[in-house]
A and B are shown apart, each in its own frame.
Chain A
Amino acid sequence: MSQLRQAQQSDQSESRTYAPHSIEELREVIAAAVSEEIPLAVEGTASKSGLGRPVQAGATLSMRNLSGVTLYEPDELVLSAKAGTPIAEIEEMVDKAGQRLEFEPNDYGPLHGMGPGLGTLGGVIACNLAGPRRLKQGAARDHILGVHAVSGRAEAFKSGGRVVKNVTGYDLSKGLAGSYGTLAVMSDITIKVLPKAEAETTLVLRGLSDEEASAAMAQAMGSPAEASGAAHLPALVAKRVSDGTLGSDPATLIRLDGFGPSVEARASHLGKVLEKRGKLEHLHGAESKALWRDIRDVQPFADGTDCPVWRVSVAPTVGHSLVMGLRRHAAIDAFYDWQGGLVWLRMEGGEAEAELVRAGVKEIGGGHATLVRASEQVRAATEVFQPQPAALADLARRLKEQFDPVGVLNPGRMG
């Protein structure tokens, strides 16, 4: 009898963890799981275990021992690392070389009461994370160049490469980005990195209603200012970022970053346009960075509870209509990123209200509502991710069957 089975039987309360040190060991663990039909919970540091549906697993596959940056060539804008490499380690390394991860991955740690900086590269890619800069520069899936992975067939394969321009064969890297570890387990990941900005300024418009803010953000994003962030914090939410230094008046934020003279010129030009809409303030450098970090990591709702939080992606101009509509039926707290198209909702009544939220999304023209925080009990009973139309759900089911026919990789995690 294999040790996977033994492990499961010998310790019912705490499932056994396997942490391979090489791609071959990784393949062996998955082969054993397939052979024994034991579902695996795939994790890096488990910092995102609160995302998605709870997985009923017989054992845990931890990627923590497959860690380390294996290639970093700043001049080529490319970095490769093993999937279990802490994202904090990568961010520090590229920062020292004057570069950054352009997709600005958000950190769910604070929202989930776990503290910041715990995630791994594999987790960031598997959940396709992206922060405020997503609006201008894309999500994790837009910056992945290649992967090595082991599918649920216990076969090791690669896709893509290490160059930024490549259309050779199917882009399985994109298929794995955002697949929550349900198709294959990535062992090595190559991403594109880009120079970090020399300067950063945030224009802050005060006192706008959600609707006025939406118009102001659309104007800013539609201008040649090349804004790399557009967010709106309604009254009371504003004081829950930057240690309260922003005060409690509504704050509509436009971030400009890049070369010093460029940021200065753009801030001046855009400022003249925006100051007609309300009182205008400026934040520079570290102050601006701290503010956007808090928005990125959903700090206003990092309250140490498991009160349900939704992340809703809709067309930017209708985000505020969604919130207005929902408020007629439920007590919610909300703020906006991505020009108003990313709506963070905290359900003040303590219920997830999935049907209400999804009906609201449908009414304003569609989008995606994800329950990103709730107790395990609620997540087990709720469709955490936006339900898919039948034809699409059918394709998703077939893809899962092709890559993981026995269903050993994170079964049920995506619904």
Chain B
Amino acid sequence: MSIAMPKPSEAVLSRREEIVSALRVIVPGEGVVDATNEMKAFESDGLTAYRQLPLVVVLPDNVGQVSRVLKYCHENDIPVVPRGAGTSLSGGALPLEDGVLLVLSKFNKVLDIDFDNRCAVVQPGVTNLGITKAVEHRGFYYAPDPSSQIACSIGGNIAENSGGVHCLKYGLTANNVLGIEFVTIEGEIVRLGGKHLDADGHYDMLGLMTGSEGLLGVVTEVTVRILQAPETARAVLIGFPSSEQAGECVASIIAKGIIPGGMEMMDRPAIHAAEDFVNAGYPRDVEALLIVELDGPKAEVDHLLTEVEAIAGENGATTTRVSQNEEERAAFWAGRKAAFPAVGRISPDYYCMDGTIPRKELPKVLAGMKAMEKKYGLKCANVFHAGDGNLHPLVLYDANAGELERAEEFGNDILKLCVEVGGVLTGEHGVGVEKRDLMPEMFSETDMNHQQRVKCTFDAKHLLNPGKVFPQLHRCAELGRMHVHKGEVAFPDLPRF
């Protein structure tokens, strides 16, 4: 592990037995796991390069237990790492040696489906796809669809503000959550929002909680917007002799006022890896491939397909294929959705990055990555949420050949380039431990201090998920100090504006 985690507290480690006993009182039965072999399953999340056994695993099954566990940990200064399904790609649920791992997987019930108000109330352990499954008999679905949707939980989606291929049109998790119930580290149960919209005159705590990576509170109930599924969806595969032309095509589509349901781009190495793996029917003789999906009423989809085909032609497309039925549409997507495992077949290991850039900077960033391939002697395959500029470069390496460090440096350079061209470190995977130490590339000390003041609002003792997101957590008392004091500030002449 190449990242420094907070030093474990000796005081906590030495009291392990006592802590386990106390937790067993709060969560009776099999809800407390302390045997090493059983805790193994929880030692990492989707970012498997990092592993750590927790102090103890607790699996509560009601909000009262969550509240009492947190209150106990708060009173006893024990760190807590919340975990949903453990699919984080940034190490958000990486355990701490001296921390309780609070697993919400028993919160797996759909509590209320309200079609007239177009919302569903679920427990946080329900999977993303599970929400859609619960409402699809009436033609509804839950829009954000991260690739891990079959496994990832809605609670984790809130922690990470998860996206997916459809978020340019339908928004991220933050735009689709109406309310939550959460528990503070002090054990207070707080409800935000519900079936109504917008808490006018209240701070947007829901907005702050969403994407807070488990550092502010533990979500115990979620109300989400559900939507009527589009009447039709059709995809078109468009091949280009260069990535630049593909990028131009994306810009032209949007300039025409078209916001496709999904718009994905793959480069040649990714196309070949995917085609070898699933035979999706992708053209092999192109440098870049776009998958554009149009969804909505049939009349709209037909109309826009014609437009998109014309735009593709104007931008130098060499192949264009429209899906003629659902099977074909699924096949078009199968290649893209299998891109990660497909790359996994051609390389012993790969490192997936997640920067977002202003789309117009794509040629510059792709050229930069080409130069980095040479510099590091490693290959890179690219899949890309083209509509919103979210890149997923996959750096190919072999850990057994000692290439991990080089791959991480390669990845870091990519992210630095993303920031340099006006983009950001992470579009949807979160900061976690993985990108924690890169935060200063994007934020000044003052920027991060203001973010940490939110942390201090919710968790002044820094007990919830420490070691994630922020390279260094300042003590709240230190952050609380005002650097402007009455009479001390040099302020001779306030200008007359």
Contacts and interface: CB of A to CB of B under 8 A. Distances in A.
Contact of B204 (A167, A177, A260, A317): A177
Given A2-B491, A265-B299, A169 B199 contact: no
A147 to B, nearest CB: 11
Given A168-B426, A218-B116, A264-B299, A402 B480 contact: yes
A14 to B, nearest CB: 16
A89 B326 CA distance: 45
Contact of A158 (B118, B427, B447): B447
Interface in B399-448: 422-431, 435, 439, 442-444, 446-448
Interface in B469-494: 469, 479-480, 482-489, 491, 493-494
Nearest to B232: A224
A221 B304 CA distance: 23
Interface string A60-84: 0000010000000111111000000
A224 B197 contact: no
Interface in B180-202: 184, 188-192, 194-202
A137 to B, nearest CB: 8
A313 B197 CA distance: 6
B132 interface: no
Contacts of B127: none
Contacts, number: 331
B308 to A, nearest CB: 12
Given A28-B491, A265-B298, A391-B190, A151 B174 contact: no
Given A384-B201, A395-B205, A406-B482, A167 B300 contact: no
Contacts of A266: 297, 299
Contacts of B245: none
Contacts of B234: none
B428 A34 contact: no
B212 interface: yes
A167 B430 contact: yes
A161 B424 contact: yes
A174 B173 CA distance: 14
A260 B200 CA distance: 35
A407 B355 CA distance: 38
Interface residues of B, number: 111
A2 B484 CA distance: 14
A134 B197 contact: yes
Contacts of A25: 495, 497
A403 B204 CA distance: 14
Nearest to B169: A194
Interface stretch (B25-33, B43-51, B68-76, B356-364): B356-364
Contacts of A153: 482-484
Nearest to B253: A75
Given A77-B254, A317-B116, A167 B360 contact: no
B494 A171 contact: no
Interface in A298-344: 311, 313-317, 338, 341-342
B431 A168 contact: yes
A385 B200 contact: yes
Nearest to A219: B116
B450 A141 contact: no
The 4 tightest CB contacts between A and B, nearest first, are A385-B201, A174-B207, A262-B300, A195-B257
13 contacts: A75-B360, A142-B171, A158-B444, A163-B423, A166-B424, A167-B429, A170-B208, A170-B455, A259-B300, A260-B303, A368-B196, A388-B202, A391-B190
Given A172-B450, A222-B118, A266-B297, 20 more contacts: A29-B497, A130-B198, A155-B446, A155-B449, A155-B450, A162-B358, A166-B426, A167-B211, A169-B469, A170-B469, A174-B207, A175-B454, A179-B203, A180-B201, A313-B196, A317-B117, A342-B197, A367-B194, A386-B199, A399-B453
